[in-house]
C-alpha cells in the first residue's frame, strides 16, 4: 500500500455512526451517538460500566439494532440487523466472554459459521492447515486441534477467539475487540497488545478497555462514553489520564478534538 | 521402542473413545448371554435381533441428531403410528399407487417434525413440551382415522419392502445399515448437518457467528420426523398393517440408545456409531430376556433402569468436565 492511498483512507472514515440511539425500556442506553472510525487506526472506546460501550459494539456487530440513527460503512448507508450482515461487511468482533464452544474442538471453534466447503462438504484438511497457520501466527502452541477448547489455558482460549475473529472467513475491514485483555496475566496482555498494534497497521480497530495505560499505549484516538453519550473524542498523544477519567465520570465537560 | 510406545498410546486413546468402550461392553454382554443360553448365537436368533433393532435404530438416528441440537423429540412413536396409518389407508383404499402412498407418508412424517421444529425455534418453547404435545396429537390423529382398528389388506408389492431379503439378510436391516453409514458420513462432513454441533453447544454463540440457528433447528426436527417415517414404512410393511398403537415407547428406547452412545441433553454431543452400539446393546439385552423366558414386564423394568443409569452417568459426566 503506498502512502497516498494510506492518506486517502485516513481522510475518509471506514465507518460512521450518525445520531445513533437505543433504548431498553426506560433506559436510554445510547443517546445521539456520532462517531467516525478510520482505516489503519486503533480507536479506544472508553467508559465506565453502563456507559454504553457494549450496546454500541453490539449495534455494530449485529447483535442489537439501533432504534434511531444510521450507520455508514465505506461511505454507504448500511443496515446491520443481524450478525451475518456485519460478517458480510467485514466487521469482526472478538467478544469479551470469547463466545467459544467449550465442548467442541479447536478447529470447529475457529471455523464455525465460516467453514471451508466444496459443494457443501467440509474441507477438513484445508481447515486444519489454516488453523495451524493462524495459531502459529498468534504464537500459540496447542497440542492437538482435536482438543476440546475448555481444556485449553486462558491464553490459548484467547488466541482461538482472536484467531477466529480476525483471520478466519471474510477479510476483516473493521475489528472490534471487547476487553481483549480482561482476565489475562501481564505477559499475555502484552502479547495481545502487540497483536493489536500489528492489526492496527492493516485494519481499523476498535479497542474497548478499562485500562487507560493500555489505551494510551496502542490507540491513536479515544472515544469516551458517559451515560450513553459521547463525552469526548481525544487524541491520545495529547490526552492525559485526568482528562479521560473526568470525561468517563461525567464531572467535567472538557472537550478534546471534536469529530 | 518408540513404536511400542506409540501403539500403547493409540490403544489408550482408543479405549477412551465411547464407541470402543461400548463395543467392549457389548461383547461382554454377548459372552454372558451366550453362556446362559445356547439359543443366542444361532442364525435365526441373530436375524431376529437384527430385524428387531432396525426400527429403533432408524428412529434413534433422528433422536441423536435432535439431541446434538440440544433438543429431544418425544413424538417419534406417534409419528410412526400416524405416518403408518396414512400410508396404509391410502394403499388399502387404492387411492394412489404404492410409491405415491409412501411418498405422501414420508412427507407427513417430515412435516410433523418440521412443525415441532418451527414451534420450538420461532416461539422458543422447550422441545420437551412441544414434542410431548405432538406425541398426543399425532397418536390421537392415528386413532381418529382408524377408530383403533388395524389397517390391513395391503398390496403385495408393499409387503415385499419389509419381507424381501438379500443374501438371507432382511431388506430393512440392509437399508438401516446403509442409512447409518451415509448419515454418519454426512453428519461429519456436510456443513448443513455438521452445524448442529455449534448450534447445540451454544445457540447464542452460533448466531453471533452468522449461523442460521432457526433453520438448522427446524431442519433437524424435520429430519428426525422423516427418520420416524422411514421406520413406519418398514414396520407397516413387515407386519402387513397399519395400527394406531405402533411405535409405543420407541422414543424412550431411542433416547436411551442415543445417550448410551454419547449424546447428552445439553447438546453439542452425539455419535451415530455410538447410537448404533447403544441400540445393539439394548436389543441384545432384551433378546437375552426373551430367550430366558423372563416376563415382558421385567424387560420394561430393566429397560427403564438402563435408561436412568445412562442418563445419570451422562449428566454426571458433563458436570465433572
Which among B191, B205, B268 has the least Cβ separation from residue A99? B205
- pLDDT digit string (tens) for B121-143? 999 999 999 999 999 999 999 99
Cα-based angle B201, B226, B267 (whole degrees, multiple of 5): 10
Which among B190, B201, B210 has the least Cβ separation from residue A104? B201
Mean pLDDT, chain B, integer: 91
Mean pLDDT, chain A, integer: 84
Contact A61 B208 (CB under 8 A): yes
Contact B189 A112 (CB under 8 A): no
Residue numbers in B near A124 (CB within 8 A)? 189
Q: Determine the residue of chain A that is closest to B195 in CA distance.
A: A112
- pLDDT digit string (tens) for B66-109? 999 999 999 999 999 999 999 999 999 888 999 999 999 999 99
| Chain A CB within 8 Å of residue B198 CB | yes
Contact A115 B191 (CB under 8 A): yes
Query: Does A65 have pLDDT greater than 50?
Result: yes
- Angstroms from A58 CA to nearest CA on chain B: 10
Contact B191 A122 (CB under 8 A): yes
- Angstroms from B268 CA to nearest CA on chain A: 7
User: What pLDDT score was predicted for residue A51?
Assistant: 85
Domain boundaries, chain A: 102-169
Question: CA–CA separation, B29 vs B12, rounded Å?
Answer: 22
Identify the residue with better confidence: A160 or B65. B65
**Is residue B63 a contact partner of residue B226, using CB atoms and an 8 Å limit?**
no
Q: How far is CA A188 from CA A92, A157, A181, A192, A200, in A?
A: 21, 11, 8, 6, 18
A-to-B residue pairs, Cβ atoms closer than 8 angstroms:
70
Model confidence pTM above 0.90: no
Residue numbers in B near A113 (CB within 8 A)? 195, 198, 206, 209-211
Buried b (16+ CB within 10 A) or exposed e, B261-271: bbbbbbbbbbb
A54, A64, A112: which to substitute to probe chain B, counting the most B Cβ within 10 Å? Answer: A112
User: What pLDDT score was predicted for residue A18?
Assistant: 92
Residues 225-244, chain B, touching A (beta carbon < 8 A): none
User: Long-range pairs for B125-133 at CB < 8 Å and ≥24 separation?
Assistant: B127/B66, B127/B71, B127/B72, B127/B73, B127/B221, B128/B72, B128/B74, B131/B71, B131/B72, B131/B73, B131/B74, B131/B75, B132/B74, B132/B75
Question: CA–CA separation, A254 vs A166, rounded Å?
Answer: 35
Question: CA–CA separation, B98 vs B62, rounded Å?
Answer: 25
ipTM beyond cut 0.90 = no
Query: Does B50 have pLDDT greater than 90?
Result: yes
Q: Determine the residue of chain B that is closest to A169 in CA distance.
A: B209
Residue numbers in B near A121 (CB within 8 A)? 189-191
Q: Which grid cell is B130?
A: 412441544
User: What pLDDT score was predicted for residue A6?
Assistant: 45
Query: Does B179 have pLDDT greater than 90?
Result: yes
Residue numbers in A near B215 (CB within 8 A)? none
Contact B269 A103 (CB under 8 A): yes
Average pLDDT over residues A116-129: 92
Its CATH architecture, for the domain B17-320, is: Orthogonal Bundle (1.10)
A103, A108, A124: which to substitute to probe chain B, counting the most B Cβ within 10 Å? Answer: A103
- pLDDT digit string (tens) for B231-285? 999 999 999 999 999 999 999 999 999 999 989 888 999 999 999 999 999 999 9
| Chain A residues whose C-beta sits inside 8 Å of any chain B C-beta | 61, 63, 82-84, 87, 93, 95, 99-104, 108, 112-115, 117, 120-122, 124, 148, 150, 164
Contact A83 B190 (CB under 8 A): no
Contact A113 B201 (CB under 8 A): no
**Is residue B265 a contact partner of residue B200, using CB atoms and an 8 Å limit?**
no
Biggest CA pair distance of chain B: 73
User: What pLDDT score was predicted for residue A243?
Assistant: 79
Q: What percent of chain A has pLDDT over 70?
A: 92
User: What pLDDT score was predicted for residue B317?
Assistant: 63
Question: CA–CA separation, B99 vs B214, rounded Å?
Answer: 32
User: What pLDDT score was predicted for residue A4?
Assistant: 41
User: What pLDDT score was predicted for residue A257?
Assistant: 46
Question: CA–CA separation, B228 vs B221, rounded Å?
Answer: 11
- pLDDT digit string (tens) for A201-253? 888 999 998 888 888 889 999 998 888 888 888 888 777 777 788 888 776 54
Residue numbers in A near B205 (CB within 8 A)? 99-101, 112
Question: CA–CA separation, A52 vs A160, rounded Å?
Answer: 27
| Chain A CB within 8 Å of residue B18 CB | no
- Angstroms from A258 CA to nearest CA on chain B: 33
Amino acid at each position: 500500500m503506498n502512502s497516498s492511498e494510506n492518506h486517502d483512507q485516513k481522510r475518509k472514515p471506514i465507518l460512521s455512526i450518525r445520531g445513533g440511539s437505543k433504548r431498553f425500556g426506560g433506559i436510554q442506553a445510547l443517546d445521539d451517538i456520532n462517531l467516525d472510525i478510520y482505516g489503519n487506526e486503533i480507536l479506544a472506546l472508553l467508559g465506565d460500566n453502563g456507559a454504553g460501550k457494549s450496546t454500541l459494539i453490539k449495534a455494530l456487530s449485529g447483535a442489537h439494532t439501533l432504534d434511531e440513527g444510521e450507520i455508514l460503512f465505506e461511505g454507504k448507508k448500511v443496515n446491520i440487523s443481524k450478525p451475518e450482515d456485519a460478517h458480510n461487511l467485514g466487521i469482526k468482533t472478538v467478544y469479551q466472554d470469547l463466545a467459544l464452544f467449550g465442548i467442541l474442538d479447536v478447529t470447529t471453534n475457529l471455523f464455525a459459521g465460516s467453514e471451508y466447503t466444496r459443494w457443501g462438504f467440509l474441507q477438513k484438511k484445508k481447515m486444519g492447515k489454516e488453523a495451524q497457520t493462524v495459531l502459529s501466527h498468534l504464537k500459540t502452541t496447542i497440542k492437538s486441534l482435536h482438543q476440546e477448547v475448555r481444556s485449553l489455558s486462558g491464553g490459548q482460549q484467547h488466541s482461538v477467539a482472536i484467531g477466529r475473529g480476525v483471520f478466519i472467513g471474510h477479510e476483516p475491514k473493521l475489528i472490534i475487540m471487547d476487553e481483549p485483555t480482561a482476565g489475562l496475566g501481564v505477559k499475555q496482555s502484552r502479547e495481545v497488545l502487540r497483536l493489536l498494534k500489528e492489526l492496527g497497521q492493516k485494519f481499523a480497530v476498535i479497542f474497548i478497555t478499562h485500562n487507560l495505560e493500555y489505551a494510551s499505549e496502542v490507540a491513536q484516538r479515544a472515544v469516551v462514553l458517559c451515560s450513553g453519550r459521547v463525552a469526548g473524542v481525544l487524541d491520545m498523544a495529547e490526552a492525559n489520564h485526568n482528562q479521560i477519567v473526568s470525561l468517563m465520570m461525567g464531572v467535567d465537560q472538557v472537550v478534546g478534538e471534536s469529530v | 521402542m518408540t513404536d511400542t510406545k506409540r501403539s500403547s498410546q493409540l490403544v489408550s486413546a482408543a479405549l477412551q473413545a465411547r464407541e470402543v468402550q461400548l463395543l467392549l461392553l457389548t461383547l461382554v454382554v454377548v459372552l454372558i448371554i451366550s453362556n446362559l443360553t445356547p439359543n443366542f448365537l444361532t442364525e435365526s436368533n441373530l436375524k431376529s435381533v437384527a430385524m428387531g433393532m432396525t426400527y429403533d435404530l432408524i428412529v434413534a438416528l433422528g433422536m441423536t441428531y435432535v439431541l446434538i441440537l440440544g433438543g429431544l423429540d418425544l413424538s417419534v412413536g406417534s409419528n410412526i403410528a400416524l405416518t403408518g396409518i396414512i400410508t396404509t389407508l391410502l394403499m388399502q383404499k387404492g387411492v394412489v399407487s404404492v410409491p405415491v402412498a409412501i411418498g405422501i407418508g414420508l412427507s407427513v412424517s417430515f412435516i410433523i417434525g418440521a412443525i415441532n421444529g418451527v414451534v420450538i425455534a420461532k416461539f422458543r418453547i422447550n422441545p420437551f413440551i412441544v414434542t410431548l404435545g405432538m406425541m398426543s396429537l399425532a397418536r390421537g390423529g392415528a386413532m381418529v382415522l382408524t377408530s383403533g382398528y388395524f389397517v390391513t389388506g395391503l398390496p403385495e408389492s408393499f409387503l415385499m419392502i419389509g419381507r424381501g431379503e438379500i443374501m438371507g439378510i432382511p431388506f430393512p436391516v440392509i437399508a438401516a445399515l446403509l442409512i447409518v453409514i451415509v448419515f454418519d458420513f454426512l453428519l461429519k462432513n456436510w456443513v448443513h448437518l455438521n452445524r448442529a454441533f455449534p448450534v447445540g453447544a451454544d445457540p447464542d454463540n452460533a448466531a453471533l457467528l452468522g449461523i442460521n440457528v432457526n433453520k438448522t433447528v427446524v431442519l433437524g426436527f424435520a429430519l428426525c420426523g422423516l427418520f420416524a417415517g422411514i421406520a413406519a414404512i418398514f414396520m407397516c410393511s413387515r407386519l402387513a398393517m397399519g395400527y394406531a398403537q405402533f411405535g409405543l415407547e420407541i422414543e424412550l428406547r431411542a433416547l436411551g440408545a442415543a445417550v448410551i452412545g454419547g449424546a447428552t441433553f445439553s447438546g453439542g454431543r452425539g455419535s451415530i456409531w455410538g447410537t448404533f452400539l447403544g441400540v445393539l446393546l439394548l436389543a441384545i439385552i432384551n433378546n437375552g430376556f426373551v430367550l430366558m423366558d423372563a416376563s415382558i414386564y421385567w424387560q420394561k423394568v430393566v429397560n427403564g433402569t438402563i435408561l436412568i443409569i445412562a442418563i445419570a452417568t451422562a449428566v454426571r459426566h458433563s458436570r465433572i468436565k
